[in-house]
Amino acid sequence: MGYRGKTVEQQRARELRAESRTLQEIADELGVSRSSASVWVRDVEFDPKPAQRPQFRNPSSLHLKKLAEIDAMNEWGRTQIGELSDDAFLAAGTALYAGEGAKRDGEVMFANTDAAMVAFFCRWLRRFFAIDENRLRVRVYLHAGLDLDAAQRHWSTVTGVPLAQFRHGYRAAADPTIRRAKHEHGCVYVRYGCSTTHRKIMGLTRALLSS
């Protein structure tokens, strides 16, 4: 019969659209395709429905138990560590650099996506070494499509390094065959070009690993 043979359905579709029903809702109620519903109501004025919030299910007892255990272990960790003495702070920063820092002679370089780790490293570097703040350099590696300006502002706050000392950000194309996760603020590289400072850190690292 074509569109003209379904005048009742067309009229009902227009009424539903005026009530702010979605095209899919109209199509489902009338038993027609979404494209047909779209043609019938394309000139009907309506107020779009506000975006609906996703419905979240109540967390399971196992999930609640997991969260409770995480909170308990976090508190246990704070109790065990307490306030770091200078010796403990020095050793902790050395261990962190041993795992995440560059070993090539000539410059201190630390890279990570975790803001807490980066902030800890920067505090450690400034606490135990004579740092010329003007020689610190930062570079952000960020997936294409994410906000580079926002990421650089974030890492400037974390590191305490002004944006004027940031190098041009690197844009990476995500490879879905390797990973899907994209860090909102990317990975940050903090560099300090001083061979003496790097050799001191590596001396601490060797001493720590041989102790």
DSSP per-residue string spanning 129-159: S---GGGEEEEEEEETTS-HHHHHHHHHHHH
pTM as predicted: 0.66
Pair 110, 176 in one domain: yes
Residue 59 has a pLDDT of 79
Pair 103, 158 in one domain: yes
Pair 30, 108 in one domain: no
Pair 20, 102 in one domain: no
Residue ranges for the chain with pLDDT beneath 70:
1-5, 49-56, 173-182
Closest among 17, 22, 75 to 41, alpha carbons compared: 17
| Residue 180 in tokens | 């899907």
Pair 131, 203 in one domain: yes
Pair 37, 88 in one domain: no
Pair 88, 21 in one domain: no
Q: Name the residue range of residue 173's domain.
A: 84-210
Pair 125, 30 in one domain: no
Beta bridge partners of 190: 110, 138
Pair 114, 186 in one domain: yes
Residue 21 has a pLDDT of 87
Residue 37 has a pLDDT of 86
What is the C-alpha to C-alpha distance for residues 38 and 26, in angstroms, rounded to an integer?
A: 9
Please indicate, yes or no, if residue 50 is contained in any of the structural domains: no
Residue 196 has a pLDDT of 96
pLDDT in tens, 122-175: 999 999 999 999 999 999 998 877 888 999 999 999 999 999 999 988 877 655
Residue 52 has a pLDDT of 56
Please indicate, yes or no, if residue 181 is contained in any of the structural domains: yes
Contact predicate 142/160, CB 8 Å = no
Contact predicate 141/189, CB 8 Å = yes
